Each structure stands twice: as structure tokens, then as C-alpha cells.
A and B are shown apart, each in its own frame.
Chain A
């Protein structure tokens, strides 16, 4: 599969250009994903962070072609293996899902069919994409996948039903299912939100480990900046449907420059807050309603640095260094602030 992707430049697995997803109703038009562009390179983990309602899940669903009516992708390109996913017909897209790109959801307890054994559910995915594989043969590779995702005693587990497994085990089954046909891109939509803290780390380590072993790229959607620091290579910050900043995960501690990113970082609870009694920061105000976005920067009303120019027009994306861009008129780096 990899060898066929000669058409895509510089080892990029996925290239999104100007993607816009809109939910239309007779009364209003909600722009959930607004002119989003980014690239996912082979073997990297790209984190997409943002508050609830910032459009990160809709972005993932748009890439998978799963946006349900009344939502639809109105503009942009999603390039994968030299093909534009937005131009594929349903049948062509179906053949790619699961085989070339796969998604895992937040809630492992509702993501599995309660009436089927977990092994059977994974086997069906293989049967769908490789119909010539014999049943017994497919079952063997299911057991192999279960072993790969660290499910103990996979020979017995394949015959169990979802309710017999713990949340962490179910999420492992989901991962095994997503990886059943060896996709080159895995979208993980808040894969650990519903799990115990202890299990969270296991699942994220597993995804990280599998990424390296299978050479795939991971798009990790999360609102947990701690997860970003530990597992991501690059970070996209979304606000009100737009990308407001992109930077390398290593710069998270001191390199972020968009006021929204900085505000998000300040909201992180850590043990120090509890011990010192310093109250936790919050971002005042709320995300503006997506059907009535302001003409200028959507964050302006909550922003300390906002000036008239911010409310007047949409700030353009500016390059701030290698792999670092932000959409803000006052996106000053810490260094610049010191100089001023």
C-alpha cells in the first residue's frame, strides 16, 4: 500500500486543504469546520486539541466521510494516496474505510455490537475487505490482532461478548478492529475519555507502540494537553471550527503564542494547584454560537490582547518559525514579549 503512494509528496499520508463542513437548517447555517488545512506525515502523531464544540470531532468525521445530513462538506480537498476523498463515490469510499483509514471512538461500551462475540466482529471487518480469506484463516489473524493489542488469552477472548470485557479491553478490541486491515492512518477521537486514568496510559502507550510497529500515522483528537505533551509530535489547536495555531509538541511548554493556546495551557489542573491553594484559571466567556460567528476573530471577546483590528477582520495565518503558525494579529513569541 505504501509503495503505491508515489504521487503524494514528502511522505504525507493525509493532506487536508481548505476543508469546510457546514450543517444547514432552514433557520441557520452552522459552520462546524471552517477552512481547515493541515498535513499528516507518515509515522507521526498529530494531536488536534480544542474545547467541546470546537469542531474537532466533526473534522474527524468529515475525513472519514461520516458526516450525517444535514451536515456536508462544502469545500476543500482531502488527499490520501493521491486521491481526493471528497470526490469519491460511496462505493469507492467504502472500500477505503477500514483498509486505508480507520477511526476509533470515545466510548468503547457502545462501540461494539452487544449481540456478537468480539472476535466475530473483528473477523467481519477482515471478511469485508478481503472476501477471499477463509473463515478459519481470518479467525487466526483476528487472534493475532488481539495478541498485538495486548489482550491476554486471545484464543478465549475472541469467543466472548462485549459485556464480559472491561472498558480497557473493549477499547483494545476497538483498536484491533480498526487495525484489522492495516490502515495507513488511524483517527482516534478522544480514545481514552471514557476510561480510567490508569487504563488511559495503557491504551495511549499501545496506540503509540502500534504506530511505530505498523508504520502508520495517528491523528489524536483530545482535550487533554497532558496527553498531547506525552504522545504527539505536532499539535493543531482548533477554536470555533478554525485552526488557530499549529506547532511542534515539544514547544508546548514555552513555544505556544496564540492567546487561546496560552489560555488553554493555563486551565490545566495539576497537583501544584491543589497543594498551593492557587485557584485554577478559567477562560472567561463562552465559544460564540457557530451559526453567528463574528466577522473578525472568534476568540476576540474572550481575549486579553484583543484590539479593534481583531473584531474587524479574520486574522491571517502567519508563520512564526519552522512548523509553527498561528492565526492572530498579536501572536507574539515569548522572546518578542521580553524584547518589548
Chain B
């Protein structure tokens, strides 16, 4: 038992991608958690002169066209980005696991029906689809989450279905059927734990893409107007980008760093958890 645990810990520790991604992400999470302490005021408040450049007194990241502190906006925006990223990734993973495991396990007509439905969602360009959903609904943090889940569950469902189909025909699963275990028991206890590595990796990538989605939607003014978010800040900086580049650039870098961190983490997890990835063969 200890041998297995050690090697997993070792593999995780030695993985440079995982470490780099982890450190960056811890920074972003710390910023989000400490936002209320560091910047207790509403980030929409005017606190100084407009268009103060970065590194100026009191405002390390400068101020925007209405004299709002960009650093406060970044800190509070980190919250909303992470919350939306994590909640949407969780929800679309849950939906994907539900649809994918039912389709993959039962096969036949159920599979055809569910997968054709999934493909229907995949064929519509996802960003446009999200815009349409939000245009119909009132933009709020809940409808943004709903729109992103609607457009991002389909690839997860297909991934889970593929894993379940391949595990469904493995002998130990057949053995459980032969020993009279119920379908639910087999899916939850036997199949899904074996599919977990791929699901975890895909879910981590889904967090990153959800953050990008949210930023994009806020940039277009389809986000919740009462919540400070990075996309909203970039959108507001767009018109002044020639005179005050930092108003748009700073939140842009924040999005870049966060998404990069999560993708690094996802790649690192993939390498550590996926037995088929090349770098693991040396260790076995």
C-alpha cells in the first residue's frame, strides 16, 4: 500500500508543470480570498483621480476612467472568476458524467438518443450560443453560470461516455454483472472510479475555459453589471486603450495568468494521473 502512495506523491512532486500551475493558482486564490481584507470598499467606488498610471502613489496598478482602483477590481474580480469557473465546471462535469455514463453503460437506443442530443449542443458555436441564452435571459451571475454550463457540458459527456464504454466491456465489470450487482452500484463503485483520472483532467480544463467564457461575456456587456469582473474591466478599458492602456491590459494579464495556471495544473494532472502518457513509462 505504501509503495503505491509514495510513487503517486513522488510523481506529483516531481511534476514541474503541476508545481508552476499550483503556485500561480494559489496566488490567485489568495487574492480572491483576501479581497475583502485588502480592499474592503466597493470596487465600483471612485477613490482617486482618473487615469493614474500604474506604480503611482496609492495605486500600484493605476486607476481607470472613473478613478476606480484597478487593483481592487482585480482582487474582487478574482473572486467572481474563480467562483464562476469552479461552479460551472462542477455543474457541467456532473451533467456530463450523468449523461455520459447512462449513454455508455446502457448503449443501444438510449446511447443514440443521448449522444445525438449531445452532438446537437456541440454543433452550435458555443460562444454565440451563450450570447443567445443570455440575450433571452436577464444577465445575472446565475444566468451566466447557466449559459456557460449549457454550452460546455457536451464534450465532457462524450469523454465520459467513451471511458464508460471501454470499461463496460472489461471483465471485472462483466464479473460484477455476473455476480448480480445492480447497474447503479456498478456504475458508481466500479466504472466511475476507474474513469476518474480523465474526468478530473477534463474538469480542470473546463474551469479555465469557463473563466474565459465569463470574461468574454462580461466584455460584451452580457455579464452581471453589478459584479466587478475582469471581463467587465477589459470592456470598460477598451475605449481608452490608446491613452490609458493599463485599464484594459491589467485585467487582461489577470485572465491570462489564471487560465495559464489552471491549464498547467490540468496538464500536470494529466501527466501524473494518466497511465498512458509517455513520461510515466520510465517509472513503471
Residues of A within 8 A of B174 (CB): 66, 105
The answer to whether residues A97 and B180 also contact, given A69-B108, A105-B174 and a CB cut-off of 8 A, is: yes
Complex Cα–Cα for A329 and B179 (A): 42
The answer to whether residues A97 and B194 also contact, given A110-B171, A111-B171 and a CB cut-off of 8 A, is: no
Q: Is chain B's interface secondary structure helix, strand, loop, or mixed overall?
A: helix
A94→B175 contact, CB < 8 A: no
Complex Cα–Cα for A177 and B108 (A): 30
Which stretch in B119-127, B146-154, B181-189, B258-266 binds the other chain?
B181-189
- 22 A-B pairs with CB atoms under 8 Å apart are A64-B178, A95-B180, A96-B180, A97-B177, A97-B178, A97-B179, A98-B181, A102-B179, A105-B171, A105-B174, A111-B175, A113-B190, A113-B193, A114-B172, A115-B194, A125-B180, A129-B180, A159-B1, A160-B1, A161-B4, A174-B175, A177-B179
A107→B171 contact, CB < 8 A: yes
Residues of A within 8 A of B4 (CB): 161
Complex Cα–Cα for A132 and B148 (A): 45
Q: A128: CB under 8 A from chain B?
A: yes
- Over the window 151-188 of chain A, the binary record of Cβ atoms lying under 8 Å from chain B Cβ atoms (1 yes, 0 no) is 00000000111000000000000100110100000000
A124→B1 contact, CB < 8 A: no
Residues of A within 8 A of B1 (CB): 159-161
Q: A328: CB under 8 A from chain B?
A: no
B178, B189, B194: the one within 8 Å of A124 (CB): B189
Which residues 1-46 in B have Cβ within 8 Å of A in the complex? 1, 4
Q: B107: CB under 8 A from chain A?
A: yes
Q: B116: CB under 8 A from chain A?
A: no
- Over the window 103-142 of chain A, the binary record of Cβ atoms lying under 8 Å from chain B Cβ atoms (1 yes, 0 no) is 1010100111111100000001100110000000000000
The answer to whether residues A66 and B177 also contact, given A128-B185, A161-B4 and a CB cut-off of 8 A, is: yes
Complex Cα–Cα for A134 and B97 (A): 31
Complex Cα–Cα for A94 and B185 (A): 13
Interface residues of B (CB under 8 A from A): 1, 4, 107-108, 170-172, 174-182, 185, 189-190, 193-194
Interface bracket on A: 20 to 34
**Can you name the residue of chain B whose Cβ is closest to the Cβ of A125?**
B179
Supplied contacts A103-B178, A128-B179, 9 more A-B pairs, CB within 8 Å: A64-B178, A66-B174, A66-B177, A98-B180, A107-B171, A113-B190, A113-B194, A128-B182, A129-B180
Shortest Cβ gap from B62 to chain A (Å): 52
Complex Cα–Cα for A113 and B154 (A): 28
**Can you name the residue of chain B whose Cβ is closest to the Cβ of A95?**
B180
B178→A94 contact, CB < 8 A: no
The answer to whether residues A113 and B172 also contact, given A128-B185, A159-B1 and a CB cut-off of 8 A, is: yes
Residues of A within 8 A of B107 (CB): 69
Shortest Cβ gap from B176 to chain A (Å): 8
Residues of B within 8 A of A99 (CB): 180
A110→B170 contact, CB < 8 A: yes
Complex Cα–Cα for A128 and B181 (A): 6
**Can you name the residue of chain A whose Cβ is closest to the Cβ of B108?**
A69
